[in-house]
Structure 1
């Protein structure tokens, strides 16, 4: 195949002259350690520290409240409200208390459940939700921005540095430790050295070494403090993979792998200390399966199905899931059903408070049409998206669509009333698979009674970077209408991606070089070909500049991961000395204002406050102390970082070491980011079609589905 332009530049002409069919055959096998975790959740934050000496956060806060700080403060405010509400259900277990009262009941319940003599469901029934006062007809008050969290004092930092020095840990951890453990961090760390595991990136063996240096022979592998810290650490690690809880046996197995001598007792200690919570869900017809379906089964069992294995979870995710379930149930119950004419989606939204809409890229037109029709009805309507780059100029100017993060932080969107509720009658959430459980809880908490909510997205893409599976769980609970779009994605790319969604990697006709395969032998050649495609071949063949092309690869590490690719792309596209913390004006960057959210931008320059970026959300200043931890070059992204975005041209890089990180959702997501042209730098041989056919996304362990099914027992439409 020749270049569309007719040019035959050396090498560059080869890149778009290979097969113009879907990648059904080609190169290599993997080697990148970071590709072994298919969920890729850690990749959405910039560099996850590999050692205890690598701090993840800044030691101080900027004097002005940044968008990132506003987001974090809003999250804290939500958690405080949920905590207060949870306290009404029964006081918390005091840290360090002996096994008594509520904790004793809890342990007795889980033991009884494990022994088969009782069900734990009764211990976790939701309390009746308090009635909300009616909101005024018109509310346009925008509340003040949440206060920035106080920076650790000099005294607190000095105390932490002294304890770290005694334990042989690097001084650079002082800021993150103080931020994680608070003003009394030095005392807390002295009393319990394993609390060092609360800092992201610190590994158990490092915390063990720190504890031995501080405590000497007074500590051992069975130390109760170690058991509690490791239990929490295991659940934190699970959250990075999207889980909001873990089966009890899985936690015990994890503790055993870290040489905890009595895992069962360790878990009991963690529960009695109030460090983790235990849950028991029921699995039966109320799970969301219609009663009619249960009755039709030839092997229908008793009315109440068998209990699921007990789960352990962290308080923050348990509270978020419960708050989200309560909020969704509130919307369902408080909406006034109306007869709306129009398409299927419009009719469903007229009669229900919560509607789920699924489909591919072309289906986004349907919720947008719904929003326009609802505005014509005089309703207050807003559309929110995951990635600000997806907004059109018209939407930006009119304010009819805003980024979800900006809506939650209060920097965009409608006014709120005195309760902090958004002045909306209908909210349409696009890219719903990218909403994690904490974000979902914050969003639903901000919606007034009677507001309609539409969650719209493609269930086949990779899930949220954070824990939870909001759209998938709501679909599985079957408690509200689901409208399935049947609009096919157009063109060869749409045909290719649609086949991947059902497990088939088909060859497609691509007469305009919409899909091109570039076979490579090794990672070095993969990097070379990728740079050539971005800088020469794609611009010449399609008239698309490098800024309109994104490179997507499996992991950050390895010889063809984002680090290696970004270094090569910078050298070719924007060479420079990196005089601003490794960055130069014009560099393409990926910025993580908070863990789990990536914002693409371009470096403008630097000043005393930090590095200035231009993003789709406006100009952003990254404080200089956060540049190393929150920023990386962004010509090349992981699929999780790219999810929710779309670009005219995409180059997907699959070196030999990428094979273990491939799955059907990964390939579907990466290939589906391309609008006009997709190049696949292919070095994984038969691992690609095998992943598409045989490797689904790892299941996430969550509690939202049974919570929703328990609150909304009547099955919805399918």
Structure 2
């Protein structure tokens, strides 16, 4: 069978021919059934944001965050809005959460102590600047935007969403993918005082507990003095904070109020972090402020810097001064303006600490203990270098696992860590492996020494592209000197849910040896995905119907065909039950997003009234214990405490007050939710309104989620080959590459 012709689709054909092809492909997957591409694109519908995120999605879980174009971006699944854990059955998850939180605090303290002992920031090409006066001078020298101002508070407030802007108080959020971030419980009197202020300003009183937890005991006074602190609450947007401030302050507030501009600068940068950026060009920040009616954006940026709300980075500036001043005038005339980046301190700290740790590992010399290892490219690289990058597809995971086995055969302490429990279980019961969350929390993995370092000689990290800077910084800080670190993963998949692009930056900086796997992924699906990885939608022969294309004309037909495939065709043709088939679509919203698909799939596969917060026993769910994490599960039961789930073999309790924000139905997921996981069968849905959201990484990731079978419900016509050949992932602004290049170019101290 020829599926997905190279860069082409057939010309328009008669409606009856197209209908016959669609019906046959959908209704029966027995060998020999037709599987063509649609002759015409379906009718347009409301599209979700690029990267598979709709205007109300959140990173890889069940709550709400913002779409990449309209709001945030970079990830597409929901998450807990407040980042608090969902808890576990019989307290298991709670104890794990407490352990992880303690580990995070300890590692954060060690990171800060190390930076303090260094006497300043890392001297790198993207170094952190010095005094406030220097920072202001740099901004004045580089920025040249014009002031702008429009009518204040002239736009209606949209419905609240659930992104995760950076809280305003001094407490810094824990590093990592935030596998746990328990919400601080405020005293009842504090919550009552905040509720009164919110009511006075016309804000929802339901926010009281979250505001009190974020701003502390004096939350009511802080909020009354600076109403724009409300922007620190996940889901609150500038228009809503403006209305709240106007109600409390009256004529005293205006679009250029310094309290407002400082809060907006932080909100813009946290919004950029949700898109994956660890910093943002100062001009982009200024432009975003102008869009929110700030009359003097340049001055607002200067004030935010002076207040310490943001940090300034000079990318590529030379730290060494010209003592005699020779050539200074020529440099001023000839040199191009130095880019100025703005960022939040949490990401600056993580990125510089990560660069420092990676450089420390990369400088580790040869280890004689590896001389008797099997002579492979990977073992030879690890024997000579402390940091190694290993690239390849699904089949290449076996090479990284074999490396850990070889190390144990030499008497070395080795561990393998996967990004998801699904990924860990796919390695097999005989492979000792952990999840990254378990490794960092102490819930699984080797012991730690008195300094908190993992007792390891080798750590192999699978799914390395999913590492964000904070997770990676925690991980590297936990490795002792002399430990070998192998970052292994497929560079073609979607990047991390959190800020940064660690694996891509390590590869781009050439910070270590790079070992490319020569083991191709097998079968028609492997061949198809490999072609996508190099920008080609190649024809593949699938005699066993491993790949089937189901053309559709509109979103309604796409939903109908998808339900038919999951419930009837795939189980009948391949013996894969519906619970082992996952549907992958572009976003949560739209007429064929996860919400619509999950509603249709529930009605067919597990109908019920949804008497437990919209869920019934037997429902497939996507559980988001924290931002950036999605755990597939099944509803087992419910009681006064909440919903009881079974997630990858573990029992989990989701408290009643967390059900709405931490759970979605999970027959259909977005590609960002599904990254790091695979199932026996996958159905990828591409309705017409998804055309603008596709890029090569999304298609590569989505098409690679099926192990035995892939069905593509195809309604985007030529947009699919164009996305594969032309649309690359949106770039992320990060500093790790420059930091690594500068550190490794400098002589070791």
Q: Shift of residue 673 of structure 1?
A: 0.9
Q: Shift of residue 438 of structure 1?
A: 0.7
Q: 1:384 to 1:26 in 2, by over 3 A?
A: farther
Alignment of 1:251 with 2:276, yes or no, is no
Alignment of 1:191 with 2:229, yes or no, is no
Q: Deviation string for 1:227-285 (max 9, x for gaps)? A: 1111111111111111111011111111111111111001011111111101012189x
Taking structure 1 as the reference length, the TM-score comes to 0.85
Confirm or deny: 8 A CA contact 1:245 1:702 kept in the other structure: yes
Q: Shift of residue 337 of structure 1?
A: 3.3
Q: Distance in 1 between matches of 2:433 and 2:221?
A: 48
Alignment of 1:470 with 2:502, yes or no, is yes
Q: 1:22 to 1:437 in 2, by over 3 A?
A: farther
Q: 1:660 to 1:483 in 2, by over 3 A?
A: same
Q: Distance in 1 between matches of 2:634 and 2:464?
A: 27
3-state SS of paired residue (2:541): coil
Match of 2:567 among 529, 535, 540: 535
User: What residue in structure 2 maps to residue 287 of structure 1?
Assistant: none
User: What residue in structure 1 maps to residue 29 of structure 2?
Assistant: 16
1:58-97 to structure 2, matched below 5 A, reads: 65-68=94-97, 70-71=99-100, 74-87=103-116
1:342-381 to structure 2, matched below 5 A, reads: 342-381=375-414
Q: Distance in 2 between matches of 1:58 and 1:625?
A: 13
3-state SS of paired residue (2:82): coil
User: What residue in structure 1 maps to residue 9 of structure 2?
Assistant: none
User: What residue in structure 1 maps to residue 639 of structure 2?
Assistant: 607
Q: Distance in 1 between matches of 2:525 and 2:310?
A: 46
Moved more, 494-503 or 180-189: 180-189
Confirm or deny: 8 A CA contact 1:521 1:683 kept in the other structure: yes
Q: Shift of residue 599 of structure 1?
A: 0.9
Moved more, 165-174 or 35-44: 35-44
Q: Distance in 2 between matches of 1:698 and 1:633?
A: 28
Q: 1:475 to 1:378 in 2, by over 3 A?
A: same
Match of 1:227 among 261, 267, 270: 261
Q: Deviation string for 1:52-73 (max 9, x for gaps)? A: xx99338999795354555455
Q: Shift of residue 108 of structure 1?
A: 2.9
Q: Deviation string for 1:114-135 (max 9, x for gaps)? A: 69xxxxxxxxxxxxxxxxxxxx
3-state SS of paired residue (1:677): strand
3-state SS of paired residue (2:632): strand
User: What residue in structure 2 maps to residue 118 of structure 1?
Assistant: none
User: What residue in structure 2 maps to residue 650 of structure 1?
Assistant: 682
Q: Distance in 1 between matches of 2:730 and 2:53?
A: 7
Q: Deviation string for 1:593-631 (max 9, x for gaps)? A: 110111111111123332211112621111221111111
Alignment of 1:324 with 2:354, yes or no, is yes
Q: Deviation string for 1:455-502 (max 9, x for gaps)? A: 000111100011100100000111210001122111111111111111
Q: Shift of residue 85 of structure 1?
A: 4.3
Q: Deviation string for 1:343-388 (max 9, x for gaps)? A: 1011001111100000111111111111111110111110000111
3-state SS of paired residue (1:597): coil
3-state SS of paired residue (1:57): coil
Q: Shift of residue 546 of structure 1?
A: 0.8
Confirm or deny: 8 A CA contact 2:53 2:586 kept in the other structure: no
Moved more, 24-33 or 517-526: 24-33
Q: Distance in 2 between matches of 1:178 and 1:241?
A: 27
1:301-450 to structure 2, matched below 5 A, reads: 309-334=339-364, 336-338=366-368, 339=371, 340-392=373-425, 396=429, 400-450=432-482
User: What residue in structure 1 maps to residue 11 of structure 2?
Assistant: none
Q: 1:329 to 1:55 in 2, by over 3 A?
A: closer
Q: Distance in 1 between matches of 2:232 and 2:383?
A: 46
Q: Distance in 2 between matches of 1:393 and 1:209?
A: 51
Moved more, 335-344 or 480-489: 335-344
Q: Distance in 2 between matches of 1:146 and 1:535?
A: 36
Match of 1:106 among 135, 142, 145: 135
Q: Distance in 2 between matches of 1:649 and 1:527?
A: 17
Q: Shift of residue 9 of structure 1?
A: 14
Confirm or deny: 8 A CA contact 2:26 2:565 kept in the other structure: no
Q: 1:90 to 1:197 in 2, by over 3 A?
A: farther
Alignment of 1:275 with 2:300, yes or no, is no
3-state SS of paired residue (2:395): helix
Taking structure 2 as the reference length, the TM-score comes to 0.81
Q: Distance in 2 between matches of 1:66 and 1:487?
A: 41
User: What residue in structure 1 maps to residue 534 of structure 2?
Assistant: 502
User: What residue in structure 1 maps to residue 201 of structure 2?
Assistant: 167
User: What residue in structure 2 maps to residue 119 of structure 1?
Assistant: none
Confirm or deny: 8 A CA contact 2:643 2:659 kept in the other structure: yes
User: What residue in structure 1 maps to residue 271 of structure 2?
Assistant: 237
User: What residue in structure 2 maps to residue 563 of structure 1?
Assistant: 595
Q: 1:152 to 1:662 in 2, by over 3 A?
A: same
Q: 1:365 to 1:174 in 2, by over 3 A?
A: same
Q: 1:208 to 1:233 in 2, by over 3 A?
A: same
Q: Shift of residue 157 of structure 1?
A: 1.0
Confirm or deny: 8 A CA contact 2:40 2:553 kept in the other structure: no
User: What residue in structure 1 maps to residue 62 of structure 2?
Assistant: 46
Q: 1:280 to 1:617 in 2, by over 3 A?
A: farther
3-state SS of paired residue (2:587): coil
User: What residue in structure 1 maps to residue 81 of structure 2?
Assistant: 56
Alignment of 1:597 with 2:629, yes or no, is yes
3-state SS of paired residue (1:421): coil
Alignment of 1:526 with 2:537, yes or no, is no
Q: Distance in 2 between matches of 1:564 and 1:396?
A: 36
How many residue pairs get aligned? The number is: 655
Q: Distance in 2 between matches of 1:681 and 1:154?
A: 52
Q: 1:651 to 1:37 in 2, by over 3 A?
A: closer
Question: Could you list the runs of 5+ residues in structure 2 that have no partner in the other structure?
Answer: 2-20, 72-78, 122-128, 145-178, 319-330
Q: Distance in 1 between matches of 2:695 and 2:84?
A: 38
3-state SS of paired residue (2:711): strand
Q: 1:59 to 1:411 in 2, by over 3 A?
A: closer
Q: 1:701 to 1:101 in 2, by over 3 A?
A: closer
Confirm or deny: 8 A CA contact 2:60 2:630 kept in the other structure: yes
Alignment of 1:156 with 2:190, yes or no, is yes
Alignment of 1:200 with 2:234, yes or no, is yes
Confirm or deny: 8 A CA contact 1:167 1:213 kept in the other structure: yes
Q: Deviation string for 1:278-323 (max 9, x for gaps)? A: 1012189xxxxxxxxxxxxxxxx9xx99675110001111111111
Q: 1:74 to 1:31 in 2, by over 3 A?
A: farther
Q: Shift of residue 22 of structure 1?
A: 8.2
Q: Deviation string for 1:643-687 (max 9, x for gaps)? A: 111111000001111111100100000001111100001111111
Confirm or deny: 8 A CA contact 2:80 2:626 kept in the other structure: no
Q: Deviation string for 1:419-446 (max 9, x for gaps)? A: 2111111000000001111111111111
Question: Could you list the runs of 5+ residues in structure 1 that have no partner in the other structure?
Answer: 2-7, 93-99, 116-144, 285-300
Q: Distance in 2 between matches of 1:363 and 1:30?
A: 39
